[in-house]
Amino acid sequence: MEKLIKSAIIEKSNHLFGFDCSDSLIQFQKTKKEFEGDTTLVLFPLMKLAGKSPQEIGKVLGDFLKDNVRCIRNYSIIGGFLNVSFPNSYWTRQLSEINADSDFGLAAKDSKPEIMVEYSSPNTNKPLHLGHLRNNFLGYSVAGILEAFGHKVIKTQIINDRGIHICKSMLAWQKFSPLNEKGERENPENTGMKGDKLVGKYYVEFDKHFNAEAKEIIAQWNAGQFEGYPKTTIAKYEEFTEAKKGKDEKAVSGLNDKIKELAKNETPILKEAKDLLIRWEGRDPEVYLLWTTMNGWVYSGFNETYCKMGVTFDRLYYESDTFILGKDLVNEGLEKGIFYQKDDRSVWIDLTDEGLDHKLLLRSDGTSVYMTQDLGTAVDRFNDYPELTGIIYTVGNEQDYHFKVLFLILEKLGYSWAKSCFHLSYGMVDLPTGKMKSREGTVVDADDLMDEVIESAKEMTAERGHLDGMNDTERENLYKVIGMGGLKYYLLKVDPKKRMLFNPAESIELNGHTGPFIQYAHARIQSLLGKANAFELDTETEMGTSEKEIIKQLVLYPAIIEQAAKEYAPSVIANYTYELVKLFNQFYQNITILNETDGKQKALRLTLSKNVAKVIKSSMHLLGIEVPDRM
């Protein structure tokens, strides 16, 4: 209707105002609850150009719309706003159209350009954790929303399966894994431990020994024992030690951290890990076999976790493949003078003219860094998908600078499509106890958290009852649907850009702004429809205010999908659905439905309920959430 009103005004604007009206001057907003009206036209832009008061221009427009636009019943002028009302028949016809469209709100499949969404992108040195849950749910949902908006979407991840962090786990397993009575080191088969958790255990183990060795080195330095250490390192140690004199506690702490980093770089265990990385990049058979074996354990564990999460991928990329292309690109940039090489043979790019700094692309020993890999991966993807119009990288805001640099380097290398790459930067997830730290083993494990919310959903559901007639399999599935629905909704309802505090107990509550609150509304409607006889909507049926408000909310659904797609924000869908459910619950509690004696009114209300359930199911699907028919 707003499009119809806008085109009518633009077509006759010269006659109405004495000037041609542009599209941007016709602005609508939601009518405030205290005023009558179904949409509100903002008059201020037109008042300025026409040189008329709100009453004058509002009357001209209101009279014109009543006389020339079908379905304009009345209007009122409040300040600089024109509130326009539509007849009830308009809203019943809208409901009828929604009811007839099984794919209501969704754009035509593949009607928009091909786009890639990257998410998850784990390291193979540790299991997935709470932060990965927000990442996966966000990326998977954005992909679903873009697809609903008509884009052809490729869901992908880059698996960070190489690098110094991987070598740390490998080395720790070699050095510290105990032998069993058969002479075998720990593995998933002989321990029953998930492979990703076993490898993660040794990443933590490496860090324990790493810190212990660094502590011992500092003790040596403090005792004046410097034999065997580089002169440059000792000079730095003495500089930092001297600088601590007379400084406050905070400054001393910062200098101690710098000394600790110096010591860490001199630890034997880190040097062994760096040597392992060089041997891996040189395709040493023994190192490569260890790498493939341990990564295989991790992939098996990841797949189990992804299955529980309910997320999938269309294409997997591996850093161990793409870093080679990345190194070729660095050498190409070096030949073209885009990059430069230092005396130690490390390769850098100078981005100071762009307000950034110098960025390392290859280490002095020839090994690559994350940036090297990401350059190779981006080019590889556009080679694989020639129709690709952009990539959305779902990565936490701690990497904002990294992606700014990545896109800039790709542009400098001559890849014009770099301008269509976007970093979907999201806030970190904090716990009541503070920030998670993988190396210290203080992360919240994704598997454990999912199991916890599912168990909580089981306890909550068992207390309520309503499970008569369900077998054990059906009940277990229901607990999973409620628990995972609550977890996903809790992590997706917050604007992606915002940092958030996670409280698992709140996520599965049945009342309030939660997933189970919305799931229960769907189950309630299915129960209602199951008790009803056949019904058919009569579009001439009169309706009350509560019915009309729900239809207004339903009508918004296509625009909500568009907004969520353009903003890459599942929170837009989540909050829209919550408002829809609140409206329906008020309606359900205050209006008779099954016991309504007027057949037409009953059919109207049942049709309305049916389509609320349809939109709930559709919108929650875009969040990766299932809705049960019983609860």
Q: For residue range 541-592, list pLDDT tens digits in order.
A: 999 999 999 999 999 999 999 999 999 999 999 999 999 999 999 999 999 9
Q: What CA–CA distance (Å, rounded) separates 77 from 58?
A: 6
Q: What CA–CA distance (Å, rounded) separates 147 from 206?
A: 43
Strands 429-430 and 340-341: unpaired
User: How confident is residue 438, by pLDDT bands cut at 50, 70 and 90?
Assistant: very low
Q: For residue range 210-253, list pLDDT tens digits in order.
A: 999 999 999 999 999 999 999 999 999 999 999 999 999 999 99
Domains and their CATH numbers in the chain? 2-86 (3.30.1360.70), 159-202+281-430 (3.40.50.620), 457-622 (1.10.730.10)
Mean pLDDT for the stretch of residues 262-291: 95
pLDDT of residue 16: 86
pLDDT of residue 295: 96
Length of the chain: 631
pLDDT at 434 over 60: no
Q: Which of 41-45, 408-412, 614-618 has the lowest mean pLDDT?
A: 41-45
Tokens of 570: 């599942």
Q: What is the mean pLDDT of the chain?
A: 93
Q: Which amino acid is at 234?
A: I
Q: For residue range 295-329, list pLDDT tens digits in order.
A: 999 999 999 999 999 999 999 999 999 999 999 99
pTM: 0.89
Given the structure tokens 């959305």, which residue do they identify? 392
Contacts for 355-360 with beta carbons within 8 Å, 24 or more apart?
356/401, 356/404, 356/405, 356/408, 359/405, 359/409
pLDDT at 436 over 50: no
Nearest Cα to Cα of residue 393 among 130, 620, 138, 623: 138
Q: What CA–CA distance (Å, rounded) separates 83 from 37?
A: 5
